[in-house]
Amino acid sequence: MAEVHSAVVPNSVAPDALLESLLADCRAALPKCDEQLIRKAFDFCVDAHRESVRASGEPYYTHPVEVARIVAREIALDDISVAAALLHDVIEDTEFTVQDIQAEFGTTIADIVDSVTKIADIVENRTITEAETYRKLLLSLIRDVRAILIKLADRLHNMRTIDALPPERRHRIARETLDIYAPFAHRLGLANLKWELEDLAFKVLNPSAYLLVAKALQETRAEREAYIQRVIAPIEQHLRAHGLRFEITGRPKNLYSIYQKMLTRGKALEEIYDLFAIRIILETDDSNECYFAYGLVTQLYTPIPERFKDFIAVPKKNGYRSLHTTVIGPEGRPVEIQIRTRAMHEIAERGVAAHFRYKAEQGVSPAWNDDPELEEWIQWVRELFEKRSREEAAQEFLESFRLNLYQDEIYVFTPKGELKRLPKGATPLDFAFAIHTEIGHHCIGAKVNGRIVPLDYKLQTGDQVEILTSKHQAPSRDWEQIVVTHKAKSYIRRYLNEQKRLKQHEGQQLLEKRLRKLNLTIAPEELDRIAHALKYENRSALFYALGTGAISPEFVIDLLQTKSARAPENAPLPSAEQITEVARRHSTGIELLDTPTDGTPLLYSYARCCNPIPGDEIVGIITIGSGIRVHRRSCPNVQELLAANHPRLVQLRWGNVGEEQFLTALRITGDDRPGMLHNITKAILSCERTNIRSVNIDSYGGIFEGIFTLYVRNTEQLERIIEKLRRIRGIHTVTRFEGP
Ligand code: MN
């Protein structure tokens, strides 16, 4: 395979040599290293990516190998992360699946690779404006901290090789690196990674400023190095004389931070003195030696007291520990000096990864909390690392290590890539209300990742959600059970209350109209008494019952005329017997459940709100004018009466309905394709003795919604029709329509 590639790409390195150099890096940097594992992951990687080539023209596998090298050298955590880094693009870019990786390398590595893939899948190539939300999104996708570290290494290598990409992509990736990944590296304490990411991004985003700073640094380099030597030499001598073992360096800060200083201070590079910091790294485990060394330095140079910072006693939240001081150096120039032990230095450069290898006792700085949750998480990671690193089985610990922050939140996208944060368990309805109240009110469904889902679908992080609306749609009571967000709940409730007021108004109008016809008037107190007699809370509730047709205005007027309302306890309600007496016609389609009937027909009518058909469970409400009104037991309009076991409610069953046909409606949604309507009507009419009364179809975004009103004999027949319809290609939902 190597020959084939080197034929295509002459400058590529042979895989064998690559593997050997990677192993050498691992041996040098890692405390222990399973070389078999790394060889195996390497072979898998080369084989899986053998077909593809990078934008630079090199074989693709060079990328994961270099990412693995960064993980080994610059993060230096463990061999598992090196192996996972080798495999990090396999799921995304090759035909291998997470199951394949699990079979070959076990759950831990498969999990890490899966996390890295999810990030690429969901996060990248989307425009995300809020950096903090983005960072949380990243965290919510990751269950193993090593996935973040690999992602950072991946980004670093992509930034190092960014020149091969077209300019627009370069710009977007650099922006993202500066806004998201560099701060992330900082939070995790990966200082070197952060600096390099910043400088690489800076170079792409503002090439002229980058060149300016780089050139100026270059030009002043000889002078600066000479100066650093003049500062360092006496320190070296003095410290050595006091028996300290140490390394001392002086090097410039990264270009981006120098540029930031120039901007914020409005000064030219030559006027900025803290371009570099002198660093004393003590070869000791005793942090007291740092203070001792500090004392020795201040014997040589005068410190500026207000610039002294003790990050040993009070570490930074990302785990950084060091003494910082600024002294007056030769020629009166201020010089920053950092003093730390070797272990502290490792942590400063490698952050959480180093915590895994070095135990460090530390407290928490309360001042540093721009994102308390994230800080808390990092603190938690660190504590786990520390606790565990005192013991032997750190590996085992890492395997069970799972991220548990932000697991109660999900992150989903609009079709335009805008990010929405929702609580776990949120549904498309919550999402619709999160976008706009109107969209919520008219939401009939949603496409998630291009597929139609029901309204109560539980959204997952990374879902792309497109809301489908219909002007005929309106919130209903069951929506309150579907949503979890406060916003959606309150809007639905508000809408339902508004509807209730409308019904009350209708009911009131209806009653007043009848009263006017009969030339009657009714005092409000009288109405209240009637309401109470009928076990309604107040007259508004009575109006509502009138508005929904639960009781008839005649019934109220009758009560008024018989004055029975004055004696509420004895309010005579018509008994079942009275009603059977009244009724002398009609079929025997409805029978009272607990009363033996002698075949005497009842006077009844079907409620229009729920259109019961034989087979439905039914109950009746006794009215005066129109006998028993038959409702479905599930009808929202009878729920209150049912709950209160109201005396006007009678239990019913279906009797002999003969040849009667019943009106019902179906709501059908599906792909809006040619011939769909024909398929639907054909399916409906193929059932014996079915008639379609009306069809009402709307279409939007390639999806149609149709309300089909039909005559059927019973629920059994209706079920058969629904079954047939569901089998039609492109049909999404078929449900009994309850009316708007
Ligand atoms: Mn990659």
Q: Are 644 and 621 in contact (CB under 8 A)?
A: no
**Measured distance CA(294)–CA(239) in Å, rounded:** 10
Beta strands in 542-607 (DSSP E): 588-592, 604-606
Over residues 502-530, the mean pLDDT reads 85
Q: Are 375 and 381 in contact (CB under 8 A)?
A: no
Residue-averaged pLDDT of the chain = 79
* The one catalytic residue among 34, 93, 671, 698: 93
Q: What is the pLDDT of residue 367?
A: 25
Q: How confident is the model at residue 49 (pLDDT cuts 50, 70, 90)?
A: very high
224 pLDDT higher than 90? no
Residues forming beta bridges with residue 280, ordered by sequence position? 248, 339
| Helix-strand-coil split of the chain, %, nearest 5 | 50, 15, 30
Q: Is 93 a catalytic residue?
A: yes
Q: How confident is the model at residue 545 (pLDDT cuts 50, 70, 90)?
A: confident
Name residue, tokens 């996390």.
Answer: 115
Name residue, tokens 């990328």.
Answer: 63
Show the domains of the chain with their CATH numbers: 15-205 (1.10.3210.10), 216-360 (3.30.460.10), 575-657 (no CATH), 662-736 (3.30.70.260)
How far, in Å, is the centroid of ligand 1 from the Cα of 89? 5
Name residue, tokens 């406060």.
Answer: 486
Cα end-to-end distance, the chain, whole Å:
66
263 pLDDT higher than 50? yes
The burial of 399, by beta-carbon neighbours within 10 Å (0-12 exposed, 13-18 middle, 19 or more buried), is given as: middle
Q: How confident is the model at residue 24 (pLDDT cuts 50, 70, 90)?
A: very high
How far, in Å, is the centroid of ligand 1 from the Cα of 64? 6
158 pLDDT higher than 80? yes
CA atoms within 13 A on the CB side of 249: 8
Highest mean pLDDT among 189-198, 571-580, 589-598, 653-662: 189-198
How far, in Å, is the centroid of ligand 1 from the Cα of 120? 8
Q: How confident is the model at residue 566 (pLDDT cuts 50, 70, 90)?
A: very low
**Measured distance CA(644)–CA(632) in Å, rounded:** 17
How far, in Å, is the centroid of ligand 1 from the Cα of 55? 12
Tens of pLDDT, residue by residue over 96-150, are: 999 999 999 999 899 899 988 888 777 665 655 566 666 667 766 766 778 888 9
Over residues 510-524, the mean pLDDT reads 84
Counting residues of the chain whose pLDDT is more than 90, the rounded percentage is 26
578 pLDDT higher than 50? no
How far, in Å, is the centroid of ligand 1 from the Cα of 68? 10
**Measured distance CA(740)–CA(442) in Å, rounded:** 12
Name residue, tokens 């390497």.
Answer: 42
Q: What is the pLDDT of residue 586?
A: 39
The two structure tokens encoding residue 354: 């180093």
Tens of pLDDT, residue by residue over 171-201, are: 988 988 988 888 778 777 788 889 999 999 9
The two structure tokens encoding residue 410: 């999900």
Counting residues of the chain whose pLDDT is more than 70, the rounded percentage is 80
The two structure tokens encoding residue 310: 């003790």
Q: What is the pLDDT of residue 277?
A: 84
Q: What is the pLDDT of residue 135?
A: 66
Q: Are 164 and 56 in contact (CB under 8 A)?
A: yes
Q: pLDDT higher for 167 or 534?
A: 167
How far, in Å, is the centroid of ligand 1 from the Cα of 349? 23
- C-alpha dist (Å) from residue 681 to 250, 257, 684, 694, 722: 83, 70, 5, 11, 12
Q: What is the pLDDT of residue 373?
A: 47
Of 299-308, 345-354, 468-477, give the lowest mean pLDDT range. Answer: 345-354
Q: What is the pLDDT of residue 701?
A: 73
CA atoms within 13 A on the CB side of 700: 15
Helical residues (DSSP H) of 130-176, grouped into ranges: 131-141, 145-160, 167-176
DSSP 235: H
Over residues 163-169, the mean pLDDT reads 88
* The one catalytic residue among 47, 92, 100, 526: 92
SS3 state at 201: helix
Q: What is the pLDDT of residue 25?
A: 93
358 pLDDT higher than 50? no
Of 315-319, 596-600, 658-662, give the lowest mean pLDDT range. Answer: 596-600
- C-alpha dist (Å) from residue 257 to 12, 132, 178, 254, 334: 35, 21, 12, 6, 18
387 pLDDT higher than 90? no
How far, in Å, is the centroid of ligand 1 from the Cα of 586? 77
The two structure tokens encoding residue 432: 């619709």
How far, in Å, is the centroid of ligand 1 from the Cα of 386? 30
Tens of pLDDT, residue by residue over 678-708, are: 788 888 878 777 777 777 778 777 788 888 8
Q: Could you tell me how many residues make up the chain?
A: 740
Using CA atoms in the order 507, 511, 517, 518, what is the torsion angle rounded to 10 degrees? Answer: 160
Q: What is the pLDDT of residue 411?
A: 82
Complete DSSP assignment for 687-700: STT-EEEEEEEEEE
**Measured distance CA(489)–CA(499) in Å, rounded:** 15
Q: pLDDT higher for 381 or 438?
A: 438
Q: Are 489 and 423 in contact (CB under 8 A)?
A: no
The two structure tokens encoding residue 262: 């120039």
**Measured distance CA(562)–CA(571) in Å, rounded:** 10
Over residues 257-271, the mean pLDDT reads 83
275 pLDDT higher than 90? no
Of 198-212, 279-293, 399-413, 655-669, give the lowest mean pLDDT range. Answer: 399-413
Q: How confident is the model at residue 394 (pLDDT cuts 50, 70, 90)?
A: very low
Q: How confident is the model at residue 203 (pLDDT cuts 50, 70, 90)?
A: very high
DSSP 595: S
Over residues 249-256, the mean pLDDT reads 84
The two structure tokens encoding residue 420: 């929405």
Beta strands in 357-509 (DSSP E): 409-413, 419-423, 443-448, 451-453, 465-469
Of 95-104, 241-250, 607-616, give the lowest mean pLDDT range. Answer: 607-616
Cα 292 to chain center, whole Å? 51
**Measured distance CA(520)–CA(714) in Å, rounded:** 43
Q: Is 528 a catalytic residue?
A: no
239 pLDDT higher than 90? yes
454 pLDDT higher than 90? no
Q: What is the pLDDT of residue 391?
A: 40
The burial of 480, by beta-carbon neighbours within 10 Å (0-12 exposed, 13-18 middle, 19 or more buried), is given as: middle
Q: Burial code of 359-398, b = ≥16 C-beta within 10 A, e = fewer?
A: ebebeebeeeeebeebbebbeebbebbbebbeeeebeebb
Q: What is the pLDDT of residue 721?
A: 92
